[in-house]
Amino acid sequence: MYSFANDYSEGACPKVLNALVETNDVQAAGYGQDLFCTAAAETIRKTVGNESVDVHFISGGTPCNVLAISLLRSYEAVICVESGHINTHETGAIEATGHKIITVKGKYGKITPAEIIEVVSNHPDEHMVKPKMVFISDATELGTIYRKSELKAIYETCRKLGLYLYLDGARLGNALVATGNDLTFKDICRYTDIFYIGGTKNGALIGEAMVIRNDDLKPYFRYLIKQHCAMLSKGRIIGVQFLALLEDSTYLDNAKNANIMAQAIKYIFKQYGIPMFIDSPTNQIFPVLENRLLEKIKTKYEVTEWGKFDKNHTIVRFVCSWATKKGDVQDFYNDLFTYMQNRTV
């Protein structure tokens, strides 16, 4: 059984694992105030091209989202697309901190300035929540990516309307190295108020790096981290990992491998005329499979059933990661060939 179910099926990528082993015996201060975190934060400041951002290392993606949104006042709300992770897969963690999520349809998992403007104009007074933040992710939940012009337009809309723009970068690496991408780390920093660089899904054992550019959002952030259960005693382990990932090209290399492998699988499907539910250029692809074919695949591969397409077809998600090897994809190619051969028409 091989799993294409997600990009967190293995532990850490070799370089990260090695770094953890090598630094293991060094004594370091607790709670993310150690030399490794300090060095990693400095590396991130260089990476995003901004010396004055605040960097915090956080235990996971949901915590990052909770933290960013908990910067709001209790009556302030966050806007996101219906498929947004905070709206669907965080067990109400955002609402549990008291904040309403206002959803819009979006397009291919992405929000548009027009949708933001409409939400704000529909929330004029104190009988409604006050929209104050826009949540986006890049890559999105559907594997799609934002173009620079799109991100810039959203950011400028936010500024005009007095909203903060927060970007969930759980799969930011996959976005930045995708075919068609024209954004850089520096752009991401420039056109958001706060965002995070995902570690867990791109080679780290655990941890994400929150980057705060907007000065209004900086004060007392560590209080929020601690209060929201996202501060590790041995915070050093996240610093160590991000240093390993970002001091050279490891972070982007990991993402490239993930994208290339997923796109290879997409290509394999396309050869058989199998359509994609959405044409994503990153490490998640969404073929629409005949149920009979899906059953065969599931005898040897773990994948995620994303939704029913029609009576006989299912939308399936395949995810690759830094750990996916050429051989794994080759095996799948061979198996699919067999399945297709034996197909009764």
Report the site for its own copies in 250-309 (rule: CB under 8 A): none
Q: Should residue 69 be labelled a site residue for its own copies when binding is judged by CB under 8 A?
A: no
CB of 237 to its own copies, least distance (A): 6
Q: Is 66 in the site for its own copies (CB under 8 A)?
A: yes
Asked if residue 234 binds its own copies (CB under 8 A), the reply is yes
Q: Give 184's strand partners.
A: none
Smallest separation, CB 285 to its own copies (Å): 19
- Would you state the structure tokens that stand for residue 111, as one six-digit string? 């929000």
Q: Angle between the 250-271 and 326-341 helix axes, to the nearest 10 degrees?
A: 10
Does the footprint of its own copies cover residue 97 (CB under 8 A)? yes
Single out the residue of 207, 179, 246, 243 nearest to residue 8, CA to CA: 207
Q: In the numeric block, which tokens belong to residue 88?
A: 């669907």
Coil vs helix vs strand at 139: coil
Asked if 226 is part of the footprint of its own copies (rule: CB under 8 A), the reply reads yes
> Cα–Cα distance between 7 and 16 in angstroms, integer?
16
Of 41, 47, 48, 61, the one binding its own copies (CB under 8 A) is 61
CB of 33 to its own copies, least distance (A): 10
Q: Based on the shown chain and the rule CB under 8 A, indicate whether residue 35 belongs to the binding site for its own copies.
A: no
Residues 6+ apart with CB under 8 A from 119: 79, 102, 104, 131
The verdict on 128 binding its own copies (CB under 8 A) reads yes
Least distance to its own copies, CB of residue 51, Å: 23
Piece of the chain touching its own copies by CB under 8 A; list 55-63, 105-113, 150-158, 265-273? 55-63
How many residues make contact with its own copies (CB under 8 A)? 71
The two three-digit tokens of residue 247, written as one number: 């001091």
Residue whose C-alpha is closest to residue 86's, from 106, 63, 105, 117: 63
Contact flag: residue 96 with its own copies (CB under 8 A): yes
**Which of 116, 224 has the CB closer to its own copies?**
224
* The pair of three-digit structure tokens given for residue 94, joined into one six-digit string: 């955002």
Q: Residue from 110, 213, 236, 266 that binds its own copies (CB under 8 A)?
A: 236
CB under 8 A: which stretch of 112-120, 161-169, 229-237, 259-267 binds its own copies? 229-237
Binding to its own copies (CB under 8 A) within 136-195 occurs at none
| 209 touches 56 (CB < 8 A) | yes
Q: CB neighbours (10 Å) of residue 41?
A: 20
Cα separation, 162 vs 211, whole angstroms = 20
